[in-house]
Amino acid sequence: MDGYVTVDQAAQRLGRSIEQVRRYLREGRLRGRRIGQQWFIDEDALAGWRPGRREGVQRLGEPVAAYEARPMEAGKRKKFKPLLDPELMKEIEETARKIYEEAGEIDVAELIRQDREEH
Amino acid sequence: MYCLDASFAVRYLSGEDAAVIRRWRSFSSDDELVAPSLFRAECTSAFAKLVHAGRTTEALAQTQIARMLRLPIRIVERDALYTRALEIVCSLRKSKAYDALYLATAEHEAAELLTVDDGMRDAAERLGIAVSLVR
């Protein structure tokens, strides 16, 4: 698609991971088009995109000057509310740390894969 | 919406992978987590293997499995998943349907698949299913 890049290409150009670029798209920090399961990002706007400020993040297609002049929008942003109970996450992570200390690095992908192959 | 591979959950429950921890912490109340019905069995089985191999204790495994069951994950159980999984297995020329059930669930729910398994990531990409390899 002319004038658009894939998530992989955008990640390379921004020096970010694919996961981060997908998150920017989901959060509206990057504007893109989704066709089926695939995201496409406007190539020209990507060139001027600047990460960093969470408030007033530049939108794709918006000139850099306009982005920099735009007032902070912190008050308008929805406050992050975690899906998982923070206490549950804390307990899980503490126990996971104990397991890690005992077991060392576990190749989880291989562990699950072996299980699937054995069945 | 996200479809969780068991590998992504077990990695969180049994290790100190910073990227995986960050991803779990990043889920917001607007997100929904789904998984096929075998998800819980696979997590349990992975811990059983760790206990059997002497890499953790039964007590710690029990604790983490009990917590896994408290995670807000909607289990998807639909007849259509199994027929679609069979199609996927055949199209990928595989002989096991376990991966395919996750792929079929992600596709059915229009969810992004989260995994730590390269093979699963590759299979999802071949099918055009949104996927993230969390590392």
Give residues 50 to 79 of A whose Cβ lies within 8 Å of B: none
CA distance A40 to A117: 36
Q: Which residues of chain B have pLDDT under 50?
A: none
**pTM of structure:** 0.70
Judge residue A23's burial from the number of C-beta atoms within 10 Å of its C-beta, 0-12 exposed, 13-18 middle, 19 or more buried: middle
CA distance B94 to A76: 49
Q: Is B130 on the interface with A (CB under 8 A)?
A: yes
Please state the domain count of chain A.
2
Mutation for testing the B interface, residue in A99, A105, A115, A117 having most B CBs under 10 Å = A99
Q: What is the pLDDT of residues A47-91, one digit of tens each?
A: 766 554 343 444 555 555 565 555 555 445 567 889 999 999 999
Q: How far is A26 from chain B (nearest CA, A)?
A: 11
Q: What is the pLDDT of residues A17-31, one digit of tens each?
A: 787 788 777 766 777
Residue A100: domain span:
86-118
Q: What is the ipTM metric for this complex?
A: 0.86
Please report whether residue A81 resides in a domain. no
Please report whether residue A67 resides in a domain. no
